[in-house]
Chains A and B, each alone.
Chain A
Amino acid sequence: MKKTLPALFVAFASMFGGFALYQKMSAQSTDTDADVSPDFSLETLSGETFKLSDLRGKLVLVNFWATWCAPCLDEIPLLVEIQNRFASRGLQIVGPALDEPDRVRASLPRLKIQYPILIGEEQIPVVMDALGDRLGALPFSVLISPGGNVLARKHGEFDLEELSTLVEDNLPKI
């Protein structure tokens, strides 16, 4: 018994140590993996030129979507809510639409999107690819830090808690 107890202690300590080491290693790799986002320009629905680098200093969520994409449409009310909640603290969502501009325009009253919508059916797949899309699927979101680094990429819908936490954790420090 005298020999078993220390052995058990060492075994448990090693197991917990292993978990802790993994967490530390994965946290470090997240920091060092932060890659610089390429700059891009796209046209807005109103015909102006949008340039990503003009938003330097803000936390930017680029959400690629389309009117033919049901999960994209499901996600939009959440994005509208998040934009409203965090706009004053430095969040800017932009929505490049992989779609025909007329269809996008027609959908806006129903979707009540208040953040900039970008168009360009030929350029948008190129921008998606440059921002790290490897699946060619929508919705695809990329979170870009105020300094211009890619913080997160996600295919599929966010849920409210997940996106709120992600935004809160990365808002510009005042």
Chain B
Amino acid sequence: MRRRPCKLAFWCTLLLLATPSICLAGLLDFRKSADDAILPADQAFMVHAPLWDGKEMILGFAIAPGCYLYRDRITVEATRPAGYELGFASMPLGEAFADRHFGRTTIYRDSMQIRFRPKSGQPPTRIKVRYQGCAEGMVCYPWQTRLLSVITR
């Protein structure tokens, strides 16, 4: 006697075989992934809370892979106490960068620190940081502004 194929088993087998194909097709669908590679501004650049070590205020940036900050597009000012002057800022040399539109410029990748040594010898309590950078070859982020309280060690 010939055994009749079980319909349910047949359809289950079809579904089992088709499912990985559907998933694979989804993974290979490049049309929807263009924006997925771009980080939001607050993940592309992270500013650490400024730290006062008794002599200097250290302000650190963490820069995501593939992103960079322009050296001449970072500004820092004290907002509290009023009229406080941060004094001389020591910034790393950075990386020379040739831009077709902006000419020769300097950028930072990965991480960087700015050190301030105020003449007063006292830390500010609050600062305003502004910075601007890009994800290389993809997008640029508008100027970001952060208000940060200074941590005293």
Contacts and interface: CB of A to CB of B under 8 A. Distances in A.
Contact of B138 (A17, A21, A71, A125): A71
Interface size class of A (residues with CB under 8 A): 35 or more
B41 A17 contact: no
A11 B99 contact: no
B74 interface: no
Interface residues of B, number: 35
A72 B19 CA distance: 41
A137 B134 CA distance: 9
A72 B24 CA distance: 34
Contacts of A138: 139-142
Contacts of B139: 69, 71, 135, 137-140, 155-156
Contact of B18 (A17, A23, A71, A157): A17
Contacts of A69: 134, 139-140
Contacts of B20: 15, 18
Do most interface residues of chain A lie in helix, strand or loop, or is the interface mixed? helix
Interface of B: 10, 13-15, 17-22, 24-26, 29, 32, 34-35, 38-41, 73, 99-102, 132, 134-135, 137-142
22 contacts: A10-B10, A14-B21, A15-B18, A15-B20, A17-B14, A19-B22, A21-B22, A22-B26, A23-B25, A66-B140, A70-B100, A70-B101, A70-B134, A71-B139, A74-B101, A135-B139, A136-B40, A136-B41, A138-B140, A155-B34, A155-B38, A155-B139
Interface of A: 10-11, 13-19, 21-23, 26, 66, 68-74, 98, 125, 134-140, 153-157
